[in-house]
C-alpha cells in the first residue's frame, strides 16, 4: 500500500467525513488527511500493483486508464476546492511510500505551501483560448472593400495585388489589436495570469491566445460578463473564444524548486 497525495489545504478547514466524496483514483482506498502544523494533505490509500513505479509506467501508456484516473483525480481536487477557500493542487500521481514521508515533505515545504495558500485563496483558475480564422477574415475584408476577384491584366493586376497586401496587413493588425484588448481586459479582472505558448491549430483556425487567469471567486459574474462581451463582439468575425473553468488553481501553484531526494 502507498499514499496518493491529491492536494493541500488548511487543517482547520479540511472537510470531513468523506462519505459524499467522489471515489478517487483508487475506489475502495480510504481518503484521509495527513497533517503537519496548519497544513493538511488529502491522501488516499492506493495499491502498488496499480500505482507502483513499474505498473505506473505501463498504465500511463494506456489512454483509457489515464483518462479514468485523471478525471478521478480532478473530481477529488474539485470537491475539496468547492468546500474550502485555499487549495494547493498536487501533480497527478504524486505517491509516497508512507504517511510519514508525506509529513516530512509538508514540513520541508511548509513555507512555500503557506505562501501559496495566501496567493490562491478564494480564487479560481480560468483558461481562455482565442482562435482566429485569418483566411476567412481576409476574405470578408476583401469583400467589404470590394476588391475585385476578376483576373485583370497589367496595371489593374498590380493595383489589386497592392490593395490585397495592404488589407492583409490591416486584418492582421486588427486581429492583434482585438486579441490584445481582450487579454488586457481579462488581466484587469484577475489577480494573476500566465500566458502559455499558442500551440496547436484546428483545421483553418490558428490559436492566437492561450492564457490562464486567476480570478477572485466573488468576481465570477464580472468575469463572465467580460467574456460574453468579447464573444458577442467577435460573433461572425472569425475570432472565437474558448473558455474553460472555473478550475482549482492548477496552473498557479509554485513549482517545487528542488527535487526531494527520492529513494528509488
Partner 1 sequence: MSQMNEVITNEHMTLLELLDRLLNKGVMIWGDLVISVADIDLVYLRLQLLLAAVETLRGEPK
**Least gap, CB of 43 to partner 1 (angstroms):** 11
Sign, Cα dihedral of 216, 219, 220, 225: negative
Q: Which 124-183 residues touch partner 1, going by CB under 8 A? A: 127
* Segment interacting with partner 1 (CB under 8 A) among 16-24, 31-39, 51-59, 130-138: 51-59
Q: Which 52-81 residues touch partner 1, going by CB under 8 A? A: 52-53, 56-57, 60-61, 63, 66-67, 70-71, 73-74
245 binds partner 1 (CB under 8 A): yes
SS3 sequence, 167-213?
HHHHHHHHHHHHHHHHHHHHHHHCCEEEECCCCCEECCEEEEEEEEE
By CB under 8 A, name the one of 86, 101, 138, 190 that touches partner 1: 101
Site residues (CB under 8 A) for partner 1?
2, 5, 51-53, 56-57, 60-61, 63, 66-67, 70-71, 73-74, 88-97, 101, 105, 109, 127, 199-200, 202-203, 224, 227-228, 231-232, 235, 241-245, 247, 250-251, 253-256, 259-260, 262-264
Amino acid at each position: 500500500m502507498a499514499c496518493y497525495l491529491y492536494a493541500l489545504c488548511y487543517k482547520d478547514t479540511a472537510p470531513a467525513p468523506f462519505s459524499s466524496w467522489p471515489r478517487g483514483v483508487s475506489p475502495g482506498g480510504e481518503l484521509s488527511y495527513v497533517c503537519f502544523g496548519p497544513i493538511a494533505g488529502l491522501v488516499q490509500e492506493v495499491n502498488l500493483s496499480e500505482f507502483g513505479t513499474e505498473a505506473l509506467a505501463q498504465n500511463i501508456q494506456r489512454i483509457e486508464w489515464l483518462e479514468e484516473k485523471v478525471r478521478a483525480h480532478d473530481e477529488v481536487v474539485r470537491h475539496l476546492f468547492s468546500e474550502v477557500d485555499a487549495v494547493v493542487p498536487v501533480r497527478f500521481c504524486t505517491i509516497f511510500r508512507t504517511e510519514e514521508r508525506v509529513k516530512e515533505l509538508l514540513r520541508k515545504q511548509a513555507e512555500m505551501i503557506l505562501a501559496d495558500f495566501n496567493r490562491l485563496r478564494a480564487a479560481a483558475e480560468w483558461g481562455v483560448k482565442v482562435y482566429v480564422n485569418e483566411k476567412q477574415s481576409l476574405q470578408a475584408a476583401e469583400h467589404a472593400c470590394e476588391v475585385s476577384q476578376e483576373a485583370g491584366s497589367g496595371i489593374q493586376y498590380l493595383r489589386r495585388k497592392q490593395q490585397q497586401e495592404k488589407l492583409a496587413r490591416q486584418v492582421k493588425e486588427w486581429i492583434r489589436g482585438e486579441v490584445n484588448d481582450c487579454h488586457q481586459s481579462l488581466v484587469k479582472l484577475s489577480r494573476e495570469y500566465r500566458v502559455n505558448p499558442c500551440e496547436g491549430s484546428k483545421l483553418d483556425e490558428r490559436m492566437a491566445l492561450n492564457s490562464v487567469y486567476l480570478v477572485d471567486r466573488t468576481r465570477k459574474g464580472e468575469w463572465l460578463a467580460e467574456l460574453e462581451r468579447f464573444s458577442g463582439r467577435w460573433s461572425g468575425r472569425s475570432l472565437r473564444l474558448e473558455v474553460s473553468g472555473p478550475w482549482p488553481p492548477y496552473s498557479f501553484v509554485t513549482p517545487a524548486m528542488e527535487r526531494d531526494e527520492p529513494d528509488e
